[in-house]
Amino acid sequence: MEKSTYLVTVSGPDRVGVGAELFAALSSLSERNAHVIDVAQITIRGTLVLCAEIVVDSSVGPGEVEEALHARNIVGEGISATVQLVNPSDVVHGGRLLVTLLAPSISALQLEQIFGAIAKSDSTCERIVHLASYPVDCYELVVRGPEESSLREALAAVAKSADLDLAVQRAGLHRRAKHLVVMDADSTLLQQEVIDLLADACGCAEEVSRITEAAMAGEIDFAESLRRRVALLAGLPESVIDDVRAKLKLTPGARTLLHTLHRLGYVPAVVSGGFVEVLAPLLAELHVDHLEANRLEIIDGKLTGRLAAPIVDRAGKARALERFAKEVGVPLEQTVAVGDGANDIDMISVAGLGIAFNAKPVVQEHADAALSVPYLDAVLYFLGISREEIETQ
């Protein structure tokens, strides 16, 4: 027998028992071979919208479905119900993408621009979740469309003009599987550049700063720039390392990020062009067990101005991420890399999700997503973790 598909929509003031009444009504149609094939619900400020898609014998008209709803006393007290015949050809086919929008605040105009881009790409939004309203505004959209690449390009262009941070990812259960989250240290996990603090101690801050800026912008090779900067530190006493560590400040949201990752079973790691001697004790306090960084050569209690091991450069960071992924037991598509400088580009490119954090344009060009807000825990929203989940103890 031929089948018909109906969309049943119940809306109005939420009250106890509405869902039970709806499904009781639909189950009363079981003799007419009625089957529920999809359900969705949202409640905002006490207002309910509950939808059920059902398939029934074509002999069942919308009036019969409506009678079943009325028989269960769903309608009334401000609640209405509609039954709509669905044409299968009206359904948008294609893959699902998760689109995350983030900004200090998101206006109706910005949302209009995003939804306009979705429509122009012949795509539809199937779900919207408000992940956070503070300290930033964040929405996650599930979008289905026939052509993913054109949708990505359109959304990226609109996000840039509308001053929105954007991430577009493949939808799927892998979002909530165990992840490895790898962060750069300087100007990402930390507010400062460790080499600059060491330079302050030796009176060569200005020269080191110039080399650092050139390296972060990708103007000179990172390994060479690091050798030049470390050479300027020759003669500093080993005790300066403890002094520098005492001055380190975590980026706002860093502790929240790490605490939440640990609590939800994710694995944090740090891969840095900085120095093990400075970072290791701090990361031990933060319960970060995976660290890859450079080592300073120290002889007779003084820095020699040389590095004691092969340099952790741009390529070395990517290799470290791949090694940590194998050790933790997650595929690369379940890794996240967060960084700000040119030496993070390979790591960001290799990861399943690469995030440029307040980064130079050259880094943003290689990243899947860019954050321009100063809060490191905003990374969690790109993993689909809401503010409510973050604040759950």
Q: Give dist(CA 198, CA 211) in Å, integer.
A: 14
Q: How does residue 91 score in pLDDT terms, banded at 50, 70 and 90?
A: low
Q: For 231-260, how does the pLDDT look when each residue is reduced to its tens digit (9 = 90+)?
A: 999 999 999 999 999 999 999 999 999 999
Query: pLDDT at residue 327 above 80?
Result: yes
Query: pLDDT at residue 59 above 60?
Result: yes
Which carries the bigger pLDDT value, residue 91 or residue 121?
121
Give me the half-sphere count of Cα atoms (radius 13 Å) on the Cβ side of residue 11.
9
Q: Give dist(CA 153, CA 99) in Å, integer.
A: 12
186 catalytic residue (yes or no):
yes
Q: How does residue 32 score in pLDDT terms, banded at 50, 70 and 90?
A: confident
Q: For 156-168, how does the pLDDT look when each residue is reduced to its tens digit (9 = 90+)?
A: 999 999 999 999 9
Torsion angle, alpha carbons of 130, 132, 134, 137, to 10: -60
Q: How does residue 174 score in pLDDT terms, banded at 50, 70 and 90?
A: low
- The pLDDT of residue 372 is 96
Query: pLDDT at residue 175 above 70?
Result: no
Q: Residue 187 gets which letter from DSSP? A: I
Query: pLDDT at residue 96 above 70?
Result: yes
Q: pLDDT exceeding 90 applies to what percent of the chain?
A: 75
Give the active site residue among 165, 184, 340, 368.
184
Q: Quick one: average pLDDT of 303-308?
A: 94
Query: pLDDT at residue 5 above 60?
Result: yes
Which two structure tokens, joined as six digits, stand for 190?
Answer: 């930390």
Q: pLDDT exceeding 70 applies to what percent of the chain?
A: 96
Q: How does residue 2 score in pLDDT terms, banded at 50, 70 and 90?
A: confident
- Provide the pairing of β-strand 180-183 with 335-339: parallel
Give the active site residue among 186, 340, 346, 377.
186
Query: pLDDT at residue 26 above 70?
Result: yes
68: closest CA among 10, 149, 131, 129? 10
- The pLDDT of residue 73 is 85
128 close to 49: Cβ distance less than 8 angstroms: no
Q: Quick one: average pLDDT of 305-313?
A: 91
Query: pLDDT at residue 173 above 60?
Result: no
Q: Residue 175 gets which letter from DSSP? A: G
For the chain, what is the largest distance between any 2 Cα atoms, rounded to a whole number of angstroms?
92
Mean of pLDDT over the chain: 92
209: closest CA among 221, 192, 223? 192
Burial of 285 (0-12, 13-18, 19+ CB in 10 A): exposed
Q: Give dist(CA 361, CA 24) in Å, integer.
A: 56
Q: Residue 190 gets which letter from DSSP? A: B
In this structure, of 86-100, 152-166, 227-241, the range with the lowest mean pLDDT score is 86-100
Q: Give dist(CA 130, CA 274) in Å, integer.
A: 37
- The pLDDT of residue 340 is 95
- The pLDDT of residue 89 is 61
Q: Quick one: average pLDDT of 355-378?
A: 94
Q: Quick one: average pLDDT of 81-97?
A: 76
Q: How does residue 88 score in pLDDT terms, banded at 50, 70 and 90?
A: low
344 catalytic residue (yes or no):
no
Which two structure tokens, joined as six digits, stand for 261?
Answer: 């990752």
State the alpha helices, DSSP H only, in 173-204.
Answer: 194-202
> Identity (one letter) of the amino acid at 379?
V
Q: Quick one: average pLDDT of 116-138?
A: 93
Which carries the bigger pLDDT value, residue 158 or residue 86?
158
Which two structure tokens, joined as six digits, stand for 197?
Answer: 């603090």
- Provide the pairing of β-strand 369-371 with 353-357: parallel
Q: Count how many residues are written for the chain.
A: 393
Q: Quick one: average pLDDT of 43-48?
A: 89
Q: For 262-290, how does the pLDDT look when each residue is reduced to its tens digit (9 = 90+)?
A: 999 999 999 999 999 999 999 999 999 99
- The pLDDT of residue 90 is 59
Structural domains of the chain, with CATH: 3-90 (3.30.70.260), 95-171 (3.30.70.260), 180-391 (3.40.50.1000)
Q: Give dist(CA 270, CA 293) in Å, integer.
A: 8
10: closest CA among 61, 64, 49, 67? 49
- The pLDDT of residue 95 is 78
